[in-house]
Amino acid sequence: MPENEFSNTRNNCYSFTTLGIFPSNVNALRMKTEVSMANFRHGIVRDLAWLARSPDIMTLPEALRADWLFDVGDLQQCLEKLDHHPEPVISQLRQQACYRLGYYFEDLVRIYLNQFIQPTEIQTNIQVFKDKTTVGEYDFLIRLKDGKKVHLETAVKFYLCTDTRNDSLSHFIGPNRSDQLSRKWQRLNEHQLQLSTTCAGSRQAEKLDLFPDRRSLLLKGYLFYPYAEWQNADNWIEPISPSHARGWWLQLKRAAQLPAHDNFRYGILMKPQWLAPARMCFQDSLSRNELLKNIDDLSSPLLIAQLNQHPEHGWYEVSRGFIVPDDWHNAS
Residue % of the chain over a pLDDT of 90: 78
Task: Pick the more confident residue, 140 or 97.
Answer: 140
Domains of the chain, by residue range, sit at: 3-324
> For the chain, what is the mean pLDDT?
88
Distance CA 303, CA 249 (A): 9
Average pLDDT over residues 209-234: 94
Helix extents (H) in 239-300: 288-294
* pLDDT on residue 38: 63
Residue type, 152: L
276-320 pLDDT per residue, tens? 989 999 999 999 999 999 999 999 999 999 999 988 778 999 999
What is the predicted pLDDT for the residue at 39? 77
Q: Inform me whether the pLDDT recorded for 58 exceeds 70.
A: yes
Mean pLDDT, rounded, for 41-67 = 95
Q: Is the pLDDT of residue 34 over 60?
A: no
Q: What is the 3-state secondary structure (H, E, C) of 95-148?
A: HHHHCCHHHHHHHHHHHHHHHHHCCCEEEEEEEEEECCEEEEEEEEEEECCCCC
